[in-house]
Structure 1
Amino acid sequence: MEIFSTSVTLLCLCLFHSTRSETQSMCKGNLPPVKHVAVNSNVNVPCPVLNATEIDFRLFKGQYMVTLISIKINDTSNNINSKSPNFPANLSVNVMDKSTSFILLGVTTNLTDLYTCEAEINYPPPFKTVPNTPQTIVLVEESQDKSRDICQLESHLVWWVVFGVMAIYGLVMTCIVFFLRIKCSQIDTPLKDRECRRKWQGVQHPTWKGFLDTVV
């Protein structure tokens, strides 16, 4: 039952959430990494590599931006300015390997979604958006099953997509056949009238004449 609900969640994310980058669409290629996390735990959402001294990081939950954090890197200190303090996420920056990520803190089940991290360079100019936009699917669960294989979940997702396509195809074909049947029933033809008379009046068989009746 838990695998079923997880598969349905992945299917809904694929069908109803458009991504921020066409090159990294969920439904055009492979699914983004899926992270299973228990309630009230922390989860790491990767961001683009730090490649400028002043850069803005935006975190999207589905299609909506939930936080914006600006950072300024110099030789003495790192200045981090958060403009969306209401969302439980902090930005982690590793100056050594230039890796960055958002850390979702104390997650709850309503935070299950597709997360996209975008970066925009403010300095040095020119201002531009980093083309790489990492995506992560976060599944917050009541009890985390570590032995679950993500390949199995993707297989269930494929089957649900196939089932949905077949159901829609069957519904469309049924409507078409029903429509054509109504149209045909409204067409009056001489052949149709002849067949109806035969059906309700019966078939008239020729009368047999005796041998003596044929002798003159």
Structure 2
Amino acid sequence: MSACWMFVILMGCRLGPSHSTQTPSTCACHDHLETICASPGDTVTVPCPKLDANHVIFKLLQDEEMIYNQSYVREKKALSHKPTHNGVGVELRENKDNSSVSFRLTGVNNSSHGIYRCEGTVIYPPPLKTVSSNWRVLVLLEGHQCCRNAKSPGPNCGFHWIWILILVSIYSIIATIIAVVIWVKLRRTDSQSDYMNTKPKAPRERRKKRGVQNPIPRHF
């Protein structure tokens, strides 16, 4: 019985509903995930790794798919104009205070939902190497995937929680039914095994008849 419950618990941990901020990606255990609940038209910053190199190509990835790349030369410090991706402006900017570089998304819209990360490839000096930032930014759209203000939620803010509760309840009922069925089958198997291993006793009438058929001779 304990083995069956362990199996059910392990299946629950593996198949249970995941956190709402998780999306398919190859996140490492040491990465930091920052969740941003953005309104349409907001600006989102995606930090890039700090690289001590003169020439670096920075790439912006959305759900592990590259959507933009920018060449950065430290001596020239020339950054290109704003391109657009699905109507969202993308710009590579440098923070002069700490010499950090980051991508800036301006005017986010419904297509901006996903996990963003920055990746840098060192061109000079050699050797050629690629470094990914430890910071990942999960962009959620207010009213669709998140609620920025709990007092005045968006049109679909509470709707997702209702579905999550319904799915959790259904999963718990199914897991309980499976556990009960397995437990009943094990009880039946144990009962049959005990019955087969038990040696039946001889009938009392048969033993009495044997005593009559083979009397013990008496000597006077």
TM-score range with shorter-chain normalisation? 0.5 to 0.7
Alignment deviations for residues 118-148 of structure 1 (CA, whole Å, 9 cap, x no partner): 2121111111223543212222225853999
| Separation of aligned partners in 2, 1:133 and 1:69 | 19
CA 1:147/1:45 → structure 2, altered by over 3 Å: closer, same or farther?
Answer: farther
| Mapped contact 1:67–1:85 kept (Cα < 8 A) | no
Alignment deviations for residues 34-64 of structure 1 (CA, whole Å, 9 cap, x no partner): 3232212222222122521111212222232
- 1:45 to 2:53 alignment: no
| Mapped contact 1:59–1:115 kept (Cα < 8 A) | yes
| Separation of aligned partners in 1, 2:185 and 2:63 | 45
| Separation of aligned partners in 2, 1:190 and 1:123 | 75
When the two chains are superposed, the root-mean-square deviation of aligned CA atoms in Å is: 4.1
Q: What amino acid does structure 2 have at the position aligned with 1:110?
A: S
TM-score under structure 1 length normalisation: 0.56
Q: What amino acid does structure 2 have at the position aligned with 1:68?
A: N
Alignment deviations for residues 6-28 of structure 1 (CA, whole Å, 9 cap, x no partner): xxxx92332x3334434216xxx
| Separation of aligned partners in 2, 1:101 and 1:56 | 12
Q: Which residue of 2 aligns with 1:145?
A: 149
User: What are the residue-to-residue correspondences of 1:29-108 with 2, within 5 Å?
Assistant: 32-74=33-75, 76=76, 78=78, 80=80, 86=85, 88=88, 89-95=90-96, 97-108=98-109
CA 1:137/1:131 → structure 2, altered by over 3 Å: closer, same or farther?
Answer: closer
- 1:17 to 2:24 alignment: yes
CA 1:118/1:169 → structure 2, altered by over 3 Å: closer, same or farther?
Answer: farther
| Mapped contact 1:39–1:140 kept (Cα < 8 A) | yes
| Separation of aligned partners in 2, 1:43 and 1:190 | 66
Runs of 4+ off more than 6 Å: none
CA 1:188/1:70 → structure 2, altered by over 3 Å: closer, same or farther?
Answer: same
Q: What amino acid does structure 1 have at the position aligned with 2:73?
A: K
TM-score under structure 2 length normalisation: 0.55
Question: Secondary structure, in 3 states, of the residue corresponding to 2:119?
Answer: strand
Q: Which residue of 2 aligns with 1:177?
A: 180
Runs of 5+ consecutive residues of structure 1 not aligned to the other structure: 1-9, 26-31, 149-156, 193-216
Q: What amino acid does structure 1 have at the position aligned with 2:184?
A: R
| Separation of aligned partners in 1, 2:189 and 2:139 | 56
